[in-house]
Structure 1
Amino acid sequence: MTTTVETPLLAVRDLRVDFAGPDGPVPAVRGVDLTLRRGETLGIVGESGSGKSVTALSVLGLLPGTASVSGSVRLEGRELVGLPGRELAAIRGRRIAMVFQDPLSAFTPVYRIGDQIAEAVRIHQRVDKAAARRRAAELLDLVGIPAPDRALDSFPHEFSGGMRQRAMIAMAVANEPDILLADEPTTALDVTIQAQVLDVLRTAQRETGAALVLVSHDLGVIAGTADRVAVMYAGRVVETAGVDELFAAPRHPYSLGLIGALPRLDGRGGPLVPIPGTPAPMAELPAGCPFAPRCPLAEERCSA
């Protein structure tokens, strides 16, 4: 009897990213391994500076020229690290799409919303301007923007923050990609709009069948959305588990600390327990486990 091993949709292996610094390379990502299966939602969580966004941007080759990337990022077996710009451009927006953290800076301010979404359609599909505009209106309607035909002619600054994020999601799913990378899509939004944007992401994922990588520092967002969670600290994944397993029985002290600092809506659990101290600068990481100086469970061997 033979068993076939399914090729993961996205496989990241030993991903390393260094940025040029005044005293030499500074690590930002230090050997990350991730696997994403078709239709799955993977949450990447951690404090600011843990390497979450850099990992997501590395997948699409969107890091600046000062970054040095090594390791492997495979899309259904095809290596993306080192791929020429022209070949990567054919994948961006078509196979893998990005929902950026700040839609105001992600949209071009001097072009209308409809023109920018229609452009994303026409880059990857052979349709005329009228068909691309109709598709843009359908997408704005899908993400819940009222009067989509009129909204097409609005400039980005005329939309509220929540509407801009919806429009960014509409542009991301314009070509029905296989993977959606959402980098902190609910940052700076109030809780009501945050919930609406997450609903829009789930709707977009359901309509396109895409797998979703959701980057967030908010464990509440991850708990209600993700199937699996990767916890990052100091440029590494310290724990990966199913979402229920992670919240029921976290294995790494850092995961436990993040959950302990999360307020509970039912009022149980007592006062919040913050994680002491701050992460060490990436250029000055201590020997051994980088979380050891902040860890209440640290032993002597953790610093070896």
Structure 2
Amino acid sequence: MTTPLLEVADLAVDFGSQPAVRGVDLTLRRGETLGIVGESGSGKSVTALAVLGLLPGAARVKGSVRLEGRELVGLPSRELAGLRGNKVAMVFQDPLSAFTPVYRIGDQIVEAIRVHQKLDRAAARTRAAELLDLVGIPDPRRALDSFPHEFSGGMRQRAMIAMAIANDPDILLADEPTTALDVTIQAQVLDVLRTAQRETGAALVLVSHDLGVIAGMADRVAVMYAGRVVETAPVDELFAHPRHPYTLGLIGAVPRLDGARGALVPIPGQPPAPGTLGGGCPFADRCPLVEDRCRTEEPALTGDGDHLAACLRADFLAGTRPAP
């Protein structure tokens, strides 16, 4: 379907005088996976949390977040609570802190089910066991009686995904769900996310700093830097023909198993701290293609078709493609 399920327009989030997100535009269609990638502090997680109104009280949110045409910014807490876990569900980065430590896993999943569905406790518990079985947790009925600390990190993340899909949401927001896991468990958790998406038909927003994860999971990618989207494109187009030096730098910093390039190629310098941005491109001090005009104006996100970039040298990069 071409009609967007979720539309984010000119989203801005400030913490006091510190801007964390600046004018983000995103669209998400049914069944689609949108990857959001960038360094720590680029605004990825804040953008995802702003969609569900999960930011702390000190945050000031402007712009528009529309779910099936319904505006979520400024929606009363009671109405947002009816959407959380039902229409839009969150898979948090750290499941150990996301689960309540003094309640059993089963009780927490049952509560998530019964908040939105008219089921008695026995039926909800049966459903919870089915969900744990779906995400690959052995002996799911016994696992329902475990506390979060009795699960390994991978099992906790599986249980978090089970809770997220309990009410067949239209959208899953996964905020760096594999960050604290080793590569073997990371692959298993990504398989579980694919299964969850297939079973529910949900669209997926996958926030990550791991380009390998994004390349394997996403249909489209939004690259964020200094609180805004600096490039967006279909995943194959983005990796084959990046049009922003930051995207090219992220790809160049990925380690290669074949050893063809030797040592990693880091991006020099650090991202700008919130509140320190000048009038030019925020990537200028780290950019190998910087020109004088880059320091006087911040480029708009422009381009042709589905491939947009916020760079004055985008046309140059589009014509100077990297080796395969």
TM-score scaled by length of structure 1: 0.96
Alignment of 1:43-122 (within 5 A): 43-122=35-114
Contact 1:16 1:29 in 2 (8 A): yes
Contact 1:73 1:80 in 2 (8 A): yes
Q: Percent identity?
A: 83
Q: Counterpart of 1:234?
A: 226
Worse-matched range after superposition: 66-75 or 257-266: 257-266
Asked if 1:10 is matched to 2:28, the reply is no
Give the one of 163, 172, 197 matched to 2:189. Answer: 197
Contact 1:7 1:77 in 2 (8 A): no
Could you tell me which amino acid in structure 1 is paired with residue 263 of structure 2? P
Q: Counterpart of 1:287?
A: 279
Q: How many angstroms does 1:147 deviate by?
A: 0.3
Aligned-residue CA RMSD (Å): 0.9
SS of 1:187's equivalent in the other structure is: coil
Contact 2:2 2:29 in 1 (8 A): no
Cα shift readout 1:247-279 (whole Å, capped 9, x = no counterpart): 101000000000000012333344321000001
1-side partners of 2:259 and 2:153: how far apart?
31
Q: How many angstroms does 1:231 deviate by?
A: 0.1
Could you tell me which amino acid in structure 1 is paired with residue 235 of structure 2? V
Shift >3 Å, 4+ stretches: none
Count of equivalent residues = 296
2-side partners of 1:277 and 1:42: how far apart?
28
Q: How many angstroms does 1:6 deviate by?
A: 4.3
Alignment of 1:152-301 (within 5 A): 152-301=144-293
Contact 2:226 2:282 in 1 (8 A): yes
TM-score scaled by length of structure 2: 0.90
Q: How many angstroms does 1:286 deviate by?
A: 2.5
Contact 1:29 1:54 in 2 (8 A): yes
Q: How many angstroms does 1:186 deviate by?
A: 0.2
Q: Counterpart of 2:18?
A: 26
2-side partners of 1:267 and 1:209: how far apart?
39
2-side partners of 1:279 and 1:296: how far apart?
15
